[in-house]
Structure 1
């Protein structure tokens, strides 16, 4: 059962028909990154700064129309399952629900890291240098906010170190961009559109935060966690002297804990040896698998995720091979299989997992429609 010390009661909960203008105001007021959306005491989704970054919608939009599906944990699940879910879904928060799907509270990355720190589960003698993401995706402080937004969406990240002549000068987050975009409420549509264009064209240095809280490459993971919790930040740049070496986040620490505890992650990939020896290919495959497992886990619980490749033929010149990627996913709502063939195995895999994702979405829509019909029948 999930320890009560892990669960936080959010200071604000949105309801399905709340307006975005009110939600953003409460997010700012309560310094919340993610807000749960509730209907009849049941969790129906989440709204986060990352959602608002990826698409611009009217401040009159209702919560039910902009929320995203959420990965959840049952109150009776164990800590190992919770850690694995954070690791595979890259979630910022995970809502806790009971068997009726009624909302109980949130487990945040911060509350999990605090729990793991007190339990002495942070790996000893491991450093930031070993677990940071390197090289860091960064941006020049004179580049536009539009480019910063594009990089965040492309790389699925929520912060960017800002530099000037390769020297760290600040940091910009998804929250900074969204706050700037949505600070134009109460104006006419034409004025809002002009202001959006103005904000997107502004240089990053206009809204970035500084000075920047950083870690050193040789800092222990325990020191990193303590700094993240002390300053209430989700991640920070890692420096080697004056040089930006990488970025480390709470998620990287959770990954280290998952490895230490040897938690089973539901991914199995059978890759031909000749492809396995290609480090760039392997990195691309790992990125696709982690990204899509994360997306699918937010839709439904994933029990197993298997990938295999088969060589179909060679090109007439013999220097290219045609590959078929096959993906098998076992979930709580059914089993799914998809294949795709391409001269680029990475493209074949991406197309196959996208087919799986679309089929799961179709199944969930059918389930939702069926539930609505059932409710209407009961009311009649």
Structure 2
């Protein structure tokens, strides 16, 4: 691990978009490739990163009249300030930043060209901890109910600086709602509902209509290493930890990555 460099873990086959790419197409790419961040290039130069959070922020704005996915472009929904790394950056430098505020995808730049990205998913194979996952899980789980409003779920996500929430009813985990699910729900609403009715529909949207089901869950006794492997294989950002069909805690990619080294 001491000698590992970014080039050893980065994803080289990067999905990127041009600055003029429509949000409609960006949402299609995100869904097709099961990703939540996409670098934006202008003449081969990295100028920003589209994120699920920025999309939700833009589409959730009722004040702006023509906020339609077909009329918005990459530059409207991208983060313009972000850190980058090089292929020779030591991996241990990246590990120090995991869990801190900021972009969860690090663009890898060499000679002003985007050559890869590093995400938390890229770091999961490095998790080797054999302790039971119950030792690092969060026990006080923030959750929403299926009949809660989507705008309530979004508020919890923003206020607590998290990316997703388990959907729980009487202790049972029914699904997960993430920023990406909210972005899709908002985009569908903007496409299909006339502007004058959008505010009402936005306020009435229910979690059950936007959540992902079934939730991929873990067991309190599974090892941290196996939890990381499961998150990698299923491409999920968290595992609600369940015992006897009831939620006992939650573990995220950040939690397991923090055990590296």
TM range (shorter): 0.7 to 0.9
Equivalent residue number for residue 117 of structure 2: 106
- Matches of 2:49 and 2:202 in 1, distance apart? 26
Structure 1 residue 185 displacement after superposition:
5.5
- Residue of 60, 65, 73 corresponding to 1:62: 73
- Matches of 1:192 and 1:20 in 2, distance apart? 18
State the SS of the aligned residue for 2:115.
strand
Say which structure is richer in helix: 1
Could you give the per-residue CA deviations for residues 128-176 of structure 1, whole angstroms, max 9, x where no partner exists? 2222223111011111111111111111112111122233222212111
Equivalent residue number for residue 143 of structure 2: 138
Equivalent residue number for residue 348 of structure 1: none
> Based on CA coordinates, which of the two structures has the bigger radius of gyration?
1
Could you give the per-residue CA deviations for residues 85-111 of structure 1, whole angstroms, max 9, x where no partner exists? 33434643211011x432111112111
- Residue of 31, 35, 48 corresponding to 1:45: 48
Q: Does the C-alpha gap of structure 1 residues 25 and 216 become closer, same or farther in structure 2, counting only changes over 3 Å?
A: same
Q: TM-score, normalised by structure 2?
A: 0.85
State the SS of the aligned residue for 2:141.
coil
Equivalent residue number for residue 7 of structure 1: 10
Q: Does the C-alpha gap of structure 1 residues 223 and 51 become closer, same or farther in structure 2, counting only changes over 3 Å?
A: same
Could you give the per-residue CA deviations for residues 222-271 of structure 1, whole angstroms, max 9, x where no partner exists? 110111112111112112433322211111111122xxx3xxxxxxxxxx
- Matches of 1:85 and 1:15 in 2, distance apart? 28
State the SS of the aligned residue for 1:237.
strand
**How much is the aligned-residue C-alpha RMSD, in angstroms?**
2.3
Say which structure is richer in strand: 1
Q: Does the C-alpha gap of structure 1 residues 192 and 9 become closer, same or farther in structure 2, counting only changes over 3 Å?
A: farther
Segment of structure 1 superposing worse, 43-52 or 88-97: 88-97
Q: Does the C-alpha gap of structure 1 residues 95 and 132 become closer, same or farther in structure 2, counting only changes over 3 Å?
A: same
Equivalent residue number for residue 183 of structure 2: 178
Q: State the structure with bigger RCO (CA 8 A, min sep 6), 1 or 2.
A: 2
Equivalent residue number for residue 162 of structure 1: 167
Could you give the per-residue CA deviations for residues 42-90 of structure 1, whole angstroms, max 9, x where no partner exists? 2222111122223324432332233112221122211111222334346
Aligned pair 1:84/2:73, yes or no?
no
Q: TM-score, normalised by structure 1?
A: 0.60
- Matches of 1:199 and 1:58 in 2, distance apart? 14
Aligned pair 1:75/2:80, yes or no?
no
- Matches of 2:78 and 2:47 in 1, distance apart? 8
The runs of 5 or more residues in structure 1 that have no matched partner are 262-380
Q: Does the C-alpha gap of structure 1 residues 183 and 143 become closer, same or farther in structure 2, counting only changes over 3 Å?
A: same
State the SS of the aligned residue for 2:247.
strand
Equivalent residue number for residue 64 of structure 2: none
Pairs within 5 Å for 1:311-350: none
Could you give the per-residue CA deviations for residues 158-210 of structure 1, whole angstroms, max 9, x where no partner exists? 211112223322221211111111024556xx704524532441321222222
Equivalent residue number for residue 63 of structure 2: none
State the SS of the aligned residue for 2:188.
coil
Structure 1 residue 9 displacement after superposition:
3.3
How many residue pairs are counted as aligned between the two chains? 249
- Matches of 1:193 and 1:144 in 2, distance apart? 20
The runs of 5 or more residues in structure 2 that have no matched partner are 60-66
